[in-house]
Amino acid sequence: MSRPGGRLPDPKDVSAELMTLTYGALVTQMLKDYEKPEEVNKQLDRMGYNIGVRIIEDFLARTGAGRCNDFKETADRLQVQLDVQASISQDQLKCDSTTEIRVRFIKRLEDAIPPGED
């Protein structure tokens, strides 16, 4: 079966559509399985964390890069500029058992010339 015009779909579009449909089906099923949306959010957060860990482990294994010491080094290693939201969720100075900083990815910043410079 051929497509009109003989063009194949862009693989990025197919991947995005597949991801959207798969993720939507996953969330829908989880909402049916769990009674409270808060439980679904906890599970999705846990799954996202585990996926992120696996992606980073795969990246480090393929590149042979060492461990990053701070977030700046991480951004430099990945060579992207990131817009993030950072918050302290636990702090030993506030009598918590550990210090935990949560960093939430907002978007990837594109390279651009600063306003007013040519």
Q: What is the pLDDT along the chain (118 residues), one digit of tens a residue?
A: 555 556 776 766 667 788 888 888 999 999 999 989 899 988 988 898 888 888 878 887 888 877 778 877 877 777 667 788 888 888 888 888 888 888 888 887 776 666 666 6
pLDDT number for residue 30: 92
pLDDT number for residue 70: 82
CA distance 88 to 5: 54
pLDDT number for residue 23: 86
CA distance 35 to 30: 9
Q: Tell me which residue of 7, 93, 102 sits closest to 48, measured CA to CA.
A: 102
pTM over 0.95: no
Q: Report yes or no: 97 and 116 within 8 Å, Cβ to Cβ.
A: no
pLDDT number for residue 53: 81
Q: Report yes or no: 60 and 73 within 8 Å, Cβ to Cβ.
A: no
For tokens 């080094």, the residue is 73
